Amino acid sequence: MKKFFEKVSTKIIRLVAVTNQRQPFSLRQRKIYGIVNSSHYFMLKKNILLKIKKVALKTDHDVAFSGKSKGNKHLLRVVRVAKFLAQKTGADESVVAAGAFLHDTALPSGNDYNYLKNKKIAKDLLKQFNLSLNELDGIAECVASHEGTITPKTLEAKIVHDADTLEKAGLLGIIRHTWKMANLKNINHEKVENHDVKMILRHIEWRRKKLQTPIAKKIEKYLSITVNKQKAKTIVALTASMAFNGVITEKIALALRKHLNKKENQKLREQLNLDYLNKFE
DSSP one-letter code for 68: T
pLDDT at 192 over 60: yes
Per residue in 202-219, pLDDT (tens digit) is 999 999 999 999 999 999
pLDDT for residue 113? 86
pLDDT for residue 43? 56
The pTM (predicted TM-score) of the whole model is 0.84
In sign, the C-alpha dihedral spanning 33, 34, 39, 43 is positive
Q: Which residues does 155 contact at the CB level (< 8 Å), separation at least 6?
A: 24, 26, 27, 30, 89, 90, 91, 92
Helix spans in the chain (H): 2-19, 27-33, 46-58, 74-89, 93-102, 115-126, 133-144, 155-167, 170-183, 194-209, 214-223, 229-244, 249-256, 262-273
% of the chain at pLDDT higher than 70:
85
Per residue in 221-261, pLDDT (tens digit) is 999 999 999 999 999 999 999 999 999 999 999 999 999 99
pLDDT at 16 over 90: no
User: Distance between CA 83 and CA 121 in Å, rounded?
Assistant: 23
User: Distance between CA 243 and CA 69 in Å, rounded?
Assistant: 9
CA angle 98, 276, 92 (to 5 degrees): 25
Q: What is the mean pLDDT of residues 160-179?
A: 97
pLDDT for residue 107? 87
The amino acid at residue 95 is V
Q: What is the mean pLDDT of residues 152-163?
A: 97
pLDDT for residue 229? 94
User: Distance between CA 216 and CA 177 in Å, rounded?
Assistant: 19
% of the chain at pLDDT higher than 90:
79
CA angle 238, 244, 248 (to 5 degrees): 75
pLDDT at 39 over 50: no
Higher pLDDT, 31 or 170: 170
Helices 46-58/93-102 angle, 10° precision: 20
Q: What is the mean pLDDT of residues 161-166?
A: 98
pLDDT at 91 over 50: yes
Q: Which residues does 232 contact at the CB level (< 8 Å), separation at least 6?
A: 174, 197, 200, 201
User: Distance between CA 105 and CA 125 in Å, rounded?
Assistant: 9
* CA dihedral of residues 47, 51, 56, 59 (deg, nearest 10): 170
Per residue in 105-157, pLDDT (tens digit) is 988 887 788 999 999 999 999 999 989 999 999 999 999 999 999 999 999 99
Q: How many CB atoms lie within 10 A of CB 22?
A: 7
Asked if residue 142 lies in contact with residue 157, where contact means CB atoms within 8 angstroms, the answer is yes
